[in-house]
């Protein structure tokens, strides 16, 4: 019997479209002899839909087609199963059952622990990091503070809330000015290089902060690495075991890898990893980025990056398949860890492909890790059989806690 895998994608995120691309790539490469693939698309207004048509990227050019021909559903636990049930209509029938959820989502409200929290609340097994690791993987301030405690090499940084900046701008700027220009300003919890600016002076810094505040309430400012070479590596596993992919060097004419570099490219070509029905698109996901693979690194630096990546992955309690980005000062021969992507664009399949591990095998490994994580989670004690409320009424109950006006004291 095939394992029913519910691939969840989309969501209320600025990376909504990127998630669609990544999910369609994945759905068309999952081993159909072992798994039944069930698409679960979350619209930007948080409605959930399922249907085979959602495997075709052309459908997303017209949201009305989705609403008309696929099923608007909710996911919940019912009679020992995890079901997708029709949300509307007289006959709110169960459309599908799923055995494990596979989030292929990017950005706030989905990748950042919000979706994982819902999945964990209803108890369904799921692929990837748990709530805590997802939060840390999305929030660059939490991520970097954890890595700082582990003494991993990073550029100097400061962070602040938008409210602090509005109310105490001089104090915030004073803190930022302990850093050395040029600086890079980022929304702390977004991804895909959205809202990021490189600032050569305070005038540009103020403009960069204003831009970042449009996307997030928490802002991080970091020193820019000079003589920059950017490299990425993927880590597969969990807190117990980790293995690493090939290392890539990312090529860009910009001072940092932009959204354009990552997903738009030159606007030509087919969606790598998709079936013919899904080829008409202007993007190939992260697979479209210009890169040198493998990266041109000596053995000492390669070994250093691999070890830091595994330690960083473990420190956050990550699980599944994450991409970790590094910055190298080529002149100084120094390596700095930049950030982790808990659910990377295109699931970083190209980094494993360079080690002769194909996309289908990557997906299989991720699902198996998700199943193992679920079994470990279920083996722990999460509640007690005793009920402290037994006999509560006999001791006065809520009435005994009320004052003269009937309010709880």
pLDDT of residue 105: 97
Q: What are φ and ψ of residue 122, in 5° steps?
A: -80, -10
pLDDT of residue 304: 98
Asked if 263 contacts 288 with a C-beta cutoff of 8 angstroms, the reply is: yes
Q: Which residue has the higher pLDDT, 256 or 159?
A: 159
27-80 tens-digit pLDDT: 999 999 999 999 999 999 999 999 999 999 999 999 888 989 999 999 999 999
> Which CATH number is 157-223's, of 3.40.50.2000, 3.30.2010.20, 3.30.470.20, 3.30.1490.20?
3.30.1490.20
> Which CATH number is 3-126's, of 3.40.50.20, 3.20.20.70, 3.30.1330.10, 3.30.60.50?
3.40.50.20
d(C-alpha 156, C-alpha 161), whole Å: 18
Longest dimension (CA), the chain: 77
Lowest-pLDDT range of 131-135, 197-201, 213-217, 268-272: 268-272
Lowest-pLDDT range of 140-149, 199-208, 380-389: 380-389
260 has pLDDT over 80: no
Pick from 100, 154, 155: nearest CA to 127: 100
Lowest-pLDDT range of 156-160, 209-213, 283-287, 373-377: 283-287
Domains 3-126 and 157-223 in one fold: no
pLDDT of residue 108: 87
Pick from 290, 298, 347: nearest CA to 23: 347
Residue/partner pairs of 109-115 with CB below 8 Å, 24 or more apart: 109/11, 109/12, 109/13, 110/10, 110/11, 110/12, 110/13, 110/19, 110/42, 111/13, 111/15, 111/137, 111/138, 111/191, 111/342, 111/343, 112/137, 112/138, 112/139, 112/189, 113/138, 115/8, 115/11
pLDDT of residue 210: 96
Q: What count of Cα atoms within 13 Å lies in the side-chain half-sphere of residue 291?
A: 22
pLDDT of residue 405: 58
pLDDT of residue 275: 37
d(C-alpha 27, C-alpha 21), whole Å: 10
Q: What is the dihedral of CA 127, 128, 134, 138, to 10 degrees?
A: -110
d(C-alpha 365, C-alpha 341), whole Å: 18
pLDDT of residue 272: 39
Lowest-pLDDT range of 25-34, 212-221, 223-232, 384-393: 384-393
Top mean pLDDT of 86-90, 289-293, 370-374 is at 370-374
Place 264 in a pLDDT band, splitting at 50, 70 and 90: very low
Average pLDDT for the chain:
89
Lowest-pLDDT range of 85-89, 255-259, 262-266: 262-266
Place 88 in a pLDDT band, splitting at 50, 70 and 90: confident
Q: In what order do the strands lie in the sheet with 157-161?
A: 157-161, 218-223, 183-187, 197-199
- CATH architecture for residues 137-152+226-251+290-371: 2-Layer Sandwich (3.30)
Lowest-pLDDT range of 184-193, 228-237, 254-263: 254-263
Q: Which residue has the higher pLDDT, 240 or 280?
A: 240
226 has pLDDT over 90: yes
| Residues in the chain, total | 409
pLDDT of residue 69: 92
Q: Which residue has the higher pLDDT, 14 or 129?
A: 129
Structural domain boundaries in the chain = 3-126, 137-152+226-251+290-371, 157-223
Positive/negative CA dihedral, 144, 148, 150, 153: positive
181-214 tens-digit pLDDT: 999 999 998 765 778 999 999 999 999 999 999 9
* Token couple for 117: 């929290």
* Token couple for 313: 């992955």
298-321 tens-digit pLDDT: 999 999 999 999 999 999 999 999
pLDDT of residue 284: 56
């Amino acid at each position: 019997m095939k394992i029913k895998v519910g691939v969840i994608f989309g969501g209320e995120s600025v990376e909504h479209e990127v998630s669609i691309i990544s999910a369609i790539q994945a759905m068309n490469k999952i081993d159909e002899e072992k798994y039944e693939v069930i698409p679960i698309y979350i619209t930007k207004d948080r409605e959930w839909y399922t249907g085979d048509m959602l495997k075709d990227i052309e459908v997303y050019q017209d949201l009305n087609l989705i609403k008309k021909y696929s099923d608007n559903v909710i996911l919940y636990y019912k009679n020992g199963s995890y079901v997708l049930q029709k949300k509307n209509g007289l006959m709110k029938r169960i459309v599908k059952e799923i055995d494990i959820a596979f989030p292929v989502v990017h950005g706030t409200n989905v990748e950042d622990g919000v979706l994982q929290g819902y999945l964990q609340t209803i108890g369904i097994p799921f692929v990837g990091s748990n709530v805590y690791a997802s939060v840390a993987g999305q929030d660059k301030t939490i991520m970097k503070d954890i890595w700082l405690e582990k003494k991993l090499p990073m550029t100097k940084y400061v962070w602040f809330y938008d409210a602090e900046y509005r109310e105490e701008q001089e104090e915030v700027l004073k803190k930022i000015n302990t850093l050395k220009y040029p600086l890079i300003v980022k929304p702390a919890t977004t991804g895909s290089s959205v809202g990021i600016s490189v600032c050569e002076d305070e005038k540009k810094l103020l403009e960069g902060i204003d831009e970042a505040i449009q996307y997030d309430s928490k802002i991080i400012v970091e020193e820019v690495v000079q003589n920059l070479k950017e490299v990425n590596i993927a880590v597969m596993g969990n807190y117990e075991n980790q293995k690493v992919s090939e290392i890539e060097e990312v090529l860009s004419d910009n001072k940092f890898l932009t959204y354009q570099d990552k997903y738009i490219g030159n606007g030509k070509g087919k969606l790598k990893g998709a079936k013919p029905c899904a080829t008409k698109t202007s993007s190939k996901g992260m697979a479209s980025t210009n890169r040198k693979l493998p990266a041109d690194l000596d053995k000492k630096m390669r070994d250093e990056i691999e070890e830091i990546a595994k330690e960083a992955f473990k420190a956050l309690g990550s699980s599944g398949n994450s991409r970790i980005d590094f910055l190298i000062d080529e002149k100084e021969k120094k390596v700095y860890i930049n950030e982790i992507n808990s659910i990377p664009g295109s699931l970083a399949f190209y980094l494993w492909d360079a080690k002769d591990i194909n996309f289908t095998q990557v997906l299989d490994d991720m699902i198996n890790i998700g199943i193992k994580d679920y079994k470990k989670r279920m083996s722990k004690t999460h509640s007690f059989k005793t009920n402290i409320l037994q006999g509560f009424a006999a001791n006065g109950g809520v009435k005994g806690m009320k004052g003269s006006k009937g309010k709880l004291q």
